[in-house]
Structure 1
Amino acid sequence: MSIAPSPQRPASRREWLLSDRPQSRAQARLGRAYMTWLRFSSNRLAVLGLLIIVALVLIAIFADVLSPHDPVIGNLAGARLLPPGAQGYLLGTDDQGRDILSRLLHGSRLTLFVIVLVAVIAAPVGLLVGTVSGYVGGWVDAVLMRITDIFLAFPKLVLALAFVAALGPGIENAILAIAITSWPPYARIARAETLTVRNSDYIAAVRLMGASPFRIVLRHVMPMCMSSLIVRVTLDMAGIILTAAGLSFLGLGAQPPLPEWGAMIASGRRFILDQWWVATMPGIAILIVSLGFNLLGDGLRDALDPRESGQ
């Protein structure tokens, strides 16, 4: 004897995720994440940007396997400044006889290294400063925002150049300098989000329950700022890549023989008229990765927009 299915049981996992009456907190979170993914995946350019970033990560992971030649040691005797396709060098060689393709593949690791560390350092600092400033208010808000204004008054690249000049050249100091100059916009965004929610009913309810200001900021205010912060960090990745490349181009970032894309452009600018591929190939790599982050950031901005959550 067969048992008829319950009429209240969802017909599919999709209906369970899209249910307007979730039975648990986990179901509500999964449903919200699924709806965000549906909005994101409907944007083809955003999906293209995601594919570019996924490809960058995979290339960085498997650079040793994908590289046909050594990225540091070249062949000065017989492979100097070869054009693309000559003698098995798909993208040509540089003035040291090194394979440009192999250097680009290994340079993706440095690019991800810079991006991840800058995001890990700058985003939490900006989030903390912005939420504390917006929630506490008063003289704390005034002091923190004036410090933020001081950093925002200088162009990011000029300020990064000043910090690197003081700290000394090197990829680690370049990352630290970029992180120091990247947090103020995140603080501004977090403060604006905090000002919109600090007087809301649910914050007042949590305060009446006896929660400390530290717990309110950490557990209830900061999560409300994460969507805007994630979008801004993603959109800023292209600028971070260009700043790191600019520092390396000026000799203040990654030092030879590291295969950093900006340093590769700097070493190839002497041959730009005759051996154009030496500087052009890393420039194209920077263009593609920057475009990928911009497309991904635009897609995340549309998908995470709270005004779209009801659609």
Structure 2
Amino acid sequence: MSAAATPSRRDWLLADRPASPAQARLGQAYRTWLAFRANRLAMVGLAIVAALVGMALFADLIAPFDPLRGGDLRTARLLPPSWTHPMGTDDQARDIFSRVVHGSRLTLLVVTLVAVIATPIGLVIGTCAGYFGGWVDTVLMRVTDIFLAFPRLILALAFVAALGPGIENAVIAIAITSWPPYARLARAETLTIRDQDYIAAIRLQGASSPRIIWGHVVPLCLSSVIVRVTLDMAGIILTAAGLGFLGLGAQPPQPEWGAMIASGRRFLIDFWWVATMPGIAIFVVSLGFNLLGDGLRDVLDPKAAS
């Protein structure tokens, strides 16, 4: 019975003539998933990101030791990787594997908060500039150009220096420096949408500009912006790690990967694992987001060849 039901469900999702809007939406989502699943590197990226999320959610169960408290400094300090300590211990006799696992929570928190803060800002500024044009477009894009004129890390350093060190201020600084590319992309998409016939028809029906922007322009810009946000996740992680490395992000003894590298650089020659293990974590997670973003771009890009 189940073997016969599976093909029928697949045929229902892939029907050429959907019987309802819900069937059409589900069918489109299923086709998108099939296209995404065919990309092996994208699936590798999805697996890495899923592993990061799972590690952050179940860090207390995965980590064998307390990430903040170390062992006996006389016997457990700077131990090499072993079965007991898979990534070794640091100069405070803390298990590095446990700290890397718990550090995934901070990484995921920073990535999520920056995406939640920066994406709406970029969408609002970009769609308003592209839809209204004229002096609104000029003012908003010149402000955007000012932010784009500075390297992201340098600008984030300036904001954190003004706000003070800490993970909360680091998130705010990274979010403030992350929205300009989304605004430029949303503006470009809006310029191609605002003169379409269906937008003119909606305008003739008496819809207000905010309703047109939020109800019809923003949803059409979302796919491109989501792809860009996913591709920028690696840069966000590296910026957060850079701030932590410089002592302006998460403060000790929080297990932030950049701060862990900074504390381990003193032992890089003799005890390489102290700085190398969190560095590998940053590399793997950044690679995962890049692979996932490339896969989403191939699937969601409306200009890509089908």
Q: Same fold (TM over 0.5)?
A: yes
Deviation at 1:307, TM superposition (A): 3.7
Residue pairs, 1:11-90, within 5 angstroms: 12-75=8-71, 76-85=73-82, 88-90=84-86
Deviation at 1:11, TM superposition (A): 6.9
Please name the residue that 2:3 is paired with.
Answer: none
Deviation at 1:240, TM superposition (A): 0.3
Deviation at 1:163, TM superposition (A): 0.2
Provide runs of 4+ in structure 1 moved above 4 Å: none
| RMSD of aligned residue pairs (Cα, Å) | 1.2
Q: Which residue identity lines up with residue 143 of structure 1 in the other structure?
A: V
Residue 141 (structure 2) aligned to one of 140, 145, 170: 145
Q: Which residue identity lines up with residue 78 of structure 1 in the other structure?
A: T
Residue pairs, 1:227-266, within 5 angstroms: 227-266=223-262
Residue pairs, 1:104-253, within 5 angstroms: 104-253=100-249
SS of the equivalent of 1:96 reads: coil
Q: Which residue identity lines up with residue 81 of structure 1 in the other structure?
A: L
Please name the residue that 2:98 is paired with.
Answer: 102
For residues 79 and 232 of structure 2, what CA distance do their matches in structure 1 show?
36
Deviation at 1:18, TM superposition (A): 1.5
For residues 77 and 189 of structure 1, what CA distance do their matches in structure 2 show?
56
* Cα gap change, 1:115 to 1:11, in 2 (>3 Å): closer
For residues 11 and 84 of structure 1, what CA distance do their matches in structure 2 show?
49
* Cα gap change, 1:154 to 1:308, in 2 (>3 Å): closer
Q: Provide structure 1 residue ranges, at least 5 long, that are not aligned to the other structure.
A: 1-9
Identity of aligned residues (%): 73
Deviation at 1:89, TM superposition (A): 1.2
SS of the equivalent of 2:91 reads: coil
For residues 301 and 143 of structure 2, what CA distance do their matches in structure 1 show?
29
Deviation at 1:308, TM superposition (A): 4.7
Please name the residue that 1:4 is paired with.
Answer: none
Deviation at 1:90, TM superposition (A): 1.3
Scaled by the length of structure 1, the TM-score of the pair is: 0.95
Q: Provide structure 2 residue ranges, at least 5 long, that are not aligned to the other structure.
A: 1-5
Deviation at 1:306, TM superposition (A): 1.7
The one-character-per-residue Cα deviations of 1:90-112 (angstroms, maximum 9, x if unpaired) are 11000000000000000000000
Deviation at 1:20, TM superposition (A): 2.1
Deviation at 1:77, TM superposition (A): 2.9
The one-character-per-residue Cα deviations of 1:273-292 (angstroms, maximum 9, x if unpaired) are 00000000000000000000
Deviation at 1:17, TM superposition (A): 1.3
For residues 304 and 282 of structure 2, what CA distance do their matches in structure 1 show?
32
SS of the equivalent of 2:270 reads: coil
